[in-house]
Amino acid sequence: MTKSCAIVGGGLAGLCAYATLRKGGLEPAEIAVFGTDPDPAGAWRVRAAAIRQRRMRSESDGHCGPTTFPGLAVRAARRRRSPLPLLLSVCDRFNPTVEEFLEHVAEVRERSGWDESFHRGRIERVRAVEGGFDVEGRGVFAHVLLAPGHPGLNVPVELERDPRVVHAYRPHAYAERVEVLGAGMAAATEWLNALAAGSSVVSIRRREPLRRPLNLPRELFTRRGLGAFHRTSMDERLALLRAWSMPSYPPGRAWDEPIGRATRDGRFRVAAELDGADQIICATGFTRGFRRDRLLGRLVAEHGLETAGDWIVLAPDAVVAALTDDTRTLTLAGVPAQWAYPAADTLAGARYVAHGFLRRVERWRTR
């Protein structure tokens, strides 16, 4: 049997796509997965551990399975023998623990046969050729999903050589006086971590963070909000994507109470500029844009793909339209797919892209 599909990127988005293809009836022998670590949660696990994350921001359907049901709330209810996760889930208050999420990832990996399809290796070039795509000499595949992940950790240029600087997603301890750059979920987690470790914290930020449960308004996760998004002009869409990339973290007492207490005790304050602390934690996320990614940069350069700002222009189902037709498919997943699905860097986004990819593959298989 020849492999018809390739997934370039062995992370969570890759696993999600793989599980979806398997659900669609493809055998492991028909799919090749290329990545540097056979553990699809390998990179994510390190980052979550670095910021001591205990709970997911995502909810019950933030998982790697091909269907929203059964979600992690069902799984937790079964495991805990309690209906509480289900009740919390219908109120949008269920956030699985990191441990539960990682167990689920391991289950999907095991059940889907991921390891049978996994090939170790970093892919840095994918070229359109007759009948499909050449994946850096590993073969020609009719359908390729690129899930390269984040290009790298973002540290402001002026701080790159500062010895006090550590990125939030790298393992670290906390000094007595800590300055945390950023105002998103990672920054908020770091405020609490540092306070719990006994540090004094200065939040360095230029604007107040948004408070919302998920990193985007909920209607943008379905066609209800996507319809309007897909009808925007290029400039409008760029503006929207930039606006939606503003940092945010969830509302709730779990965040507010420790910060309120520390503020009253003089251990937490907000500042606009760095102020000579012992340690600077950059909770500034990841570098952005296809140009920062060697694989995507080359893809654009070699095929003259249409781009807008930091994004490659994609069709609503996240395919690169210029390189996709009835005989082959090139789909982007993860952050690069935000042009098609603003929440593409979430698990729901990975599933959305995977579903679109499967539809293309199925259409091709039934021709």
Q: State the minimum distance, in angstroms, from the CB of residue 22 to other proteins.
A: 12
Residue in 25, 29, 49, 68 binding other proteins, rule: CB under 8 A = 68
Q: Total residues contacting other proteins (rule CB under 8 A)?
A: 29
**Considering the rule CB under 8 A, would residue 57 count as an interface residue with other proteins?**
no
Residue 302 lies near other proteins (rule: CB under 8 A):
no
Name the maximum alpha-carbon separation found in the chain: 68
CB of 351 to other proteins, least distance (A): 7
Instruction: With beta carbons less than 8 A apart as the criterion, state whether 341 and 354 touch.
Output: no
Phi, psi of 122 (to 5 degrees): -90, 125
Show the tokens assigned to 365.
């298989």
End-to-end, the C-alpha distance of the chain in Å comes to 18
Q: Which of 54, 79, 83, 92 binds other proteins (CB under 8 A)?
A: 92
- 201 in helix, strand or coil? strand
Distance CA 97, CA 106 (A): 14
Out of 1, 2, 81, 91, point to the residue binding other proteins (CB under 8 A).
91
If one asks whether residue 89 binds other proteins (CB under 8 A), the answer comes out as yes
Q: Which stretch binds other proteins (CB under 8 A): 2-10, 64-72, 279-287, 294-302?
A: 64-72
Among 54, 79, 224, 242, binds other proteins (CB under 8 A): 224
- Nearest to other proteins of 118, 341 (CB atom): 341
Residue 263 binds to other proteins (criterion: CB under 8 A): no
Contact 295, 225 (CB under 8 A): no
Q: Tell which one of 61, 190, 293, 310 touches other proteins (CB under 8 A).
A: 61
Q: How far apart, in Å, are the Cα atoms of 254 and each of 249, 258, 278?
A: 12, 7, 27
Looking at the Cβ atoms of 92 and 208, the one nearer to other proteins is 92
Residue 255: exposure state from Cβ atoms within 10 A (0-12, 13-18, ≥19): middle
String of contacts with other proteins for each residue 339-358, x by CB under 8 A: ---------x--xx--x--x
How far is Cα 85 from Cα 26, in angstroms, rounded to an integer? 33
Smallest Cα–Cα separation from 253: which of 281, 211, 220?
Answer: 211
**Alpha carbons 108 and 40: distance in angstroms, whole number:** 10
Which CB, 140 or 147, lies closer to other proteins? Answer: 147
Kindly list the residues in this chain that would bind other proteins in the complex (CB under 8 A). 20, 23-24, 61, 66-70, 89-92, 217-219, 221-227, 348, 351-352, 355, 358-359
